Chains A and B, each alone.
Chain A
Amino acid sequence: MFQTVVMSLNEGFVKSLEIFALTLLGAIPLGLIMSFGSMSSFKPLSGFVRTVVWIFRGSPLMIQLLLIYYAPGMLGYNIWGTGSSGRFAAAMAAFILNYACYFSEIFRGGIESIPRGQKEAGQVLGMTGTQIFFKVTLLQVIKRIVPPMGNEIITLVKDTSLVRVISVYEVMWNGQAFIKSSGLIWPLFFTAVYYLAFNGLLTILFGWLEKKLDYFKV
């Protein structure tokens, strides 16, 4: 029985990891673009971005999943189709948007925390704006945002369990299924081991990254 449970949980956890990886892949670039939007001196743009951030950070991710999956159909636009791939796509849309909002605020804070003198030093040396961003600012920003990003990414690992509400079969769904099918409760509790192990790995990774960037001070 143990083997059956582990096989099923493994399968579910692969789905969890897929959600995790795709969210990062989508939300990091989108968050960076949004952070530039929220820092724009063009008021309508920064106002729009900040409103979006407020909505996605201010309401539960679970509601966002439900709304993004069900609302289009209720309005007569069945964009997600019926199958499991549609549910998965809806889940990804909700996760990427939600996490891009959190990331954009971390990026904005990181970029704005770099002293203005750094940019000006680059400017008087005849560097272009792009050169200043990539050669001067970026690494300093990365160093500053490693701890808050670590927090957010570890939260993301656990948040993947929320996709259950629109029936995406991730590890916790599979664990819970054993209650009905075999009268077993321990597989559900056992899923925690998966989250713990993976987050342990991430903690080590972030610790390593922090150390790697320890050679300079900002």
Chain B
Amino acid sequence: MALLEVTDLHKNFDQLQVLKGISFSLEKGQTLSIIGPSGGGKTTLLRCLNFLEMPSAGRIAINDDGGSHVLFDGSAGRELKAAQIRENRLHFGLVFQSFNLFPQYTALQNVSLAPRLRAKGKEDRKAQLRAIEEKSVELLRRVGLGDKLDYYPHQLSGGQQQRVAIARALALTPDVLFFDEPTSALDPELTGEVLNVIRQLARENMTMVVVTHEMGFAQAVSDQVLFIDGGVIVEQGPPEQVLGAPTEERTRQFLRGFGKG
């Protein structure tokens, strides 16, 4: 069974239909890239999967080691409670386009804050806090920032901030890590260091969904590519097909804008 299963997901904002039935599944350890024009629904899809927006209809399910979890089922007809939404979110991590680090905390504190809050009130809190601290340091080392633990966000470059944000998202060991155009807010010379970290995660078999405009990167790193436009999946398949030999005219048109196809 696939790790993540999204079925016929819809999202309306009043009269405006932004997602018109998105279905895809993602195997454990795979990387999925989502490409498409702005306003096509890519970001809304990520926001729905992380429950920053509530989907209007459809189904989201996760099949991890702990069994099968239906995170959202529009046909069930009842609203999710706040506590349920928080539990759902723990399956996922999200890296934002604009980093959104907490400015008053150091890199290390940014990574450890959420796990520390979850350890509150637990019996073995002290041991847990020590483990959290060690793990946070380890994560920052993995993204190449072992020497910046005590730096505040404003003392770091955009690329470094985004790498802290990746470490922060990994701190709660999500099943799937989502990236919303992780390099769009960066100067060109800084995109490489962030993409390298994502490549490294792909090699380590992290399950990931990356919304991106970096076509070369998508081609190199993904197992699967979705082209989304107008709230629907226009084309999906392995990168060689979608990016290399697209069958849909709309995909070809879009890729021409990037000097490909």
Q: Which residues of A contact B (CB under 8 A)?
A: 115, 117-118, 120-129, 131, 135-136, 139-140, 143, 215-218
Q: Please, how many angstroms separate the alpha-carbon atoms of A133 and B96 in the complex?
A: 20
CB-based contact B113/A126 at 8 Å: no
Knowing A117-B98, A216-B152 are in contact, say whether A124-B52 is a contact too (CB < 8 A): yes
Report the separation of the CA atoms of residues A139 and B105 in the bound assembly, to the nearest whole angstrom: 10
> Are the C-beta atoms of A139 and B104 separated by less than 8 Å?
yes
Q: Provide 27 A-B residue pairs closer than 8 Å at the C-beta atoms, listed in order of the A residue.
A: A115-B98, A115-B100, A117-B96, A117-B98, A118-B100, A120-B96, A121-B101, A121-B102, A123-B52, A123-B89, A124-B50, A124-B89, A125-B172, A126-B86, A126-B114, A126-B118, A127-B86, A127-B117, A128-B82, A128-B86, A135-B117, A136-B102, A143-B104, A216-B103, A216-B152, A217-B103, A217-B153
State A136–B98 Cα separation when bound (angstroms): 16
State A32–B114 Cα separation when bound (angstroms). Answer: 26
With a cutoff of 8 Å between Cβ atoms, the chain A residues found around residue B113 in the complex are 125, 135
| B227 / chain A contacts, CB cutoff of 8 Å | none
A120/B100 in contact, CB under 8 A: yes
Q: CA separation between A178 and B63, bound complex, in Å? A: 85
Contact across chains for A120 and B98 when beta carbons are under 8 A apart = no
| Bound-complex Cα distance A70 to B50 (A) | 57
> Please, which residues of chain A bring their CB within 8 A of the CB of B168?
125
B136-154 contact mask (Cβ, 8 Å, vs A): 1 or 0: 0000000000000000111
Q: Name the 9 nearest CB pairs between A and B, nearest first.
A: A125-B114, A117-B100, A121-B100, A217-B154, A124-B94, A216-B104, A216-B103, A126-B86, A139-B104
Q: Are B96 and A216 in contact (CB under 8 A)?
A: no
Shortest C-beta distance, B132 to chain A (Å), equals: 13
Give Cα A127–Cα B119 distance, bound, in whole angstroms. Answer: 12
Q: Does B93 interact with chain A (Cβ within 8 Å)?
A: yes
Q: Answer yes or no: B1 CB below 8 A from chain A CBs.
A: no
Most chain B CB within a 10 A radius of its CB, from A125, A136, A216: A125
Measured in the bound complex, the distance between the Cα atoms of B153 and A218 in whole Å is: 10
Chain A residues within an 8 Å CB radius of B152: 215-217
Which residue from A126, A216, A217 sits with its C-beta under 8 Å from B89?
Answer: A126
Which residues from chain B contact A136 at a C-beta distance below 8 Å?
102
In Å, the complex CA distance between A115 and B103 comes to 11
Residue of B nearest to A215 (CB): B152
> Roughly how many angstroms separate A115 CA and B99 CA in the complex, as a whole number?
12
A49 to B213, CA, bound (A): 46
B52 contact set on A, CB distance < 8 A? 120, 123-124
Bound Cα distance A136, B117 (Å): 12
Q: Does B92 contact A (CB under 8 A)?
A: yes
> In the complex the two chains form, what is the Cα distance from A125 to B82 in whole Å?
14
